[in-house]
Amino acid sequence: MHRRDFLTSTAAASLALTSNAWVHGGDTKTYRAGLIGTGWYGMVDLRHLMDSGRAEVVALCDVDKKNLHLAADEVAGRQKERPQLFHDFRDMLKPKNLDVVLIGTPDHWHALTAIAAMESGADVHCEKPISHTFLEGKAMVNTARRLSRVVQINTQRRSTPHFISAREFIKEGKLGTIGMVKAYTYYNMRPMDNPPDIEPPASLDYDFWAGPAPKIPFNKYIHPRGWRAFMEYSNGILGDMGIHMLDAMRWVMGVRYPKRITSTGGIYVGKGGKANTTDTQTVAYDFGDFVATWEHRMYGRGDDPKAGWGVNFYGNKGTMELKIDAWDFYPWGGGGKRLHVDAVKDGPNDPRYETPDRKPAGRAHMRNFLDCVASREKPVADIEEGHLSTSLCELGNISQKLGRSLVWDGEKEQVVGDEEANKLLRRQYRKPWVYPEA
């Protein structure tokens, strides 16, 4: 048995969010802020923004009146003025009076709303994955660069204290040469049953909600929080959970695009249900000098029952198991010590927020965004980084759908010798919405 050593990393300690965590040097401006998409995670992001004390929420937009008014009531209880309410994001953005806009919509709306917000003059904090199809993401990056906008993507593991300390540990060479990385989740997040089609709730404009995506018959899982079970509106478990750990992999390893993507999987257990996302999927990304894999199962436990979501790094000096609530280092070959680092905790388990170990990441990530709005520097999860990580999910899903490997040309940003795959880098929008051109 190895002795378990507990350490408190400098990085984790410096990022622990205490009562003075929102102190910021020199930036005294109060930003005029708006939110598009006032559902669960849009409001999580907005609470982090309001916690900063650096913004006044002046506008909220949602096509569900119930969500919209609940959000307005909460915001009004935390500031002097009640925000203006909008049904159509274009009406909210038309006055061009917002400094920052948060995008909390389902994935299929990210591109159009974020581009419109940038064109209105705002800097943007956008939920992940940044896009539903690859060329949407490319258009978003090009818009941000053309207009010199600050755009932060909510891949907040880059602002998670123990992820930062893990990255520093690996960057110091403590794992040696890394030949393999494995990212995974085994949470049961996908509905397996077959609910009947029903009428949308009276509060919801379902046609506008579907927007540019196909409008499938409504059932109870589509709205408000089950839409990730449908590929029409999401990139499945890979695009929901995978992007976080694959982004962490890219961040640690310092890589952009893989050379080859191979995915297998499908619906093996939840057959006959309404959901059309995979309940089982494995993706291999060949980066030339190492391979990274993603694996999810919506049934059965993982190898470690305490590790439901994480990313492991395997080197010739040891293994790093980086999980959502801790990291562990296991030396290989008898050298070094086994190490364990817990996630930073912050505050009570307030159901309005996230679990206590995740709240520091959201706050720190929002602070980084606002600091960059002031300095005009690129944030830690800049839109290009979000696009690169999102592309791993999109290409993995294309490989799984077609049943074959993809050879990717990172310079030309296309699949080599496979026009059927390249056609899936975009999709046809439902009229009257127009696909954004890169």
CB atoms within 10 A of CB 398: 23
Split at pLDDT 50, 70, 90, the class of 304 is confident
Computed over every residue of the chain, the mean pLDDT equals 91
pLDDT score at 283: 98
Name the residue among 99, 197, 118, 160 with its Cα closest to residue 322: 160
DSSP-assigned beta bridge partners for residue 180: 291, 314
Is the N-terminal amide bond of 129 cis, ω within 30° of 0? Answer: yes
User: Which residue type is seen at 291?
Assistant: V
Split at pLDDT 50, 70, 90, the class of 346 is low
Tell me the pLDDT tens digit for each residue of 252-283.
999 999 999 999 999 999 999 999 999 999 99
Alpha-carbon distance of 241 to 157, in angstroms, equals: 11
pLDDT score at 302: 84
Which phi and psi angles does 281 have, rounded to 5°? -160, 135
Angle, CA of 367, 148 and 411, to the nearest 5°: 105
Name the residue among 90, 105, 133, 88 with its Cα closest to residue 232: 133
CA-based max dimension of the chain: 65
Split at pLDDT 50, 70, 90, the class of 352 is very low
How many helices (H) and strands (E) are present in the chain, helices listed first?
13, 17
In this prediction the pTM is 0.92
User: Which residue type is seen at 360?
Assistant: P
For range 303-319, the mean pLDDT: 92
Tell me the pLDDT tens digit for each residue of 393-433.
999 999 999 999 999 999 999 999 999 999 999 999 999 99
For range 323-344, the mean pLDDT: 90
For range 167-178, the mean pLDDT: 96
CB atoms within 10 A of CB 148: 9
Split at pLDDT 50, 70, 90, the class of 7 is very low
Q: Is the pLDDT confidence value at 25 over 80?
A: no
CA atoms within a 13 Å half-sphere pointing along the CA-CB vector of 109: 24
Across the beta sheet with 55-61, the strand order is 84-86, 55-61, 31-36, 100-103, 123-126, 151-153
Whether 103 contacts 112, CB under 8 Å: no
Q: Is the pLDDT confidence value at 358 over 70?
A: no
For range 64-74, the mean pLDDT: 98
Name the residue among 203, 219, 211, 201 with its Cα closest to residue 71: 203
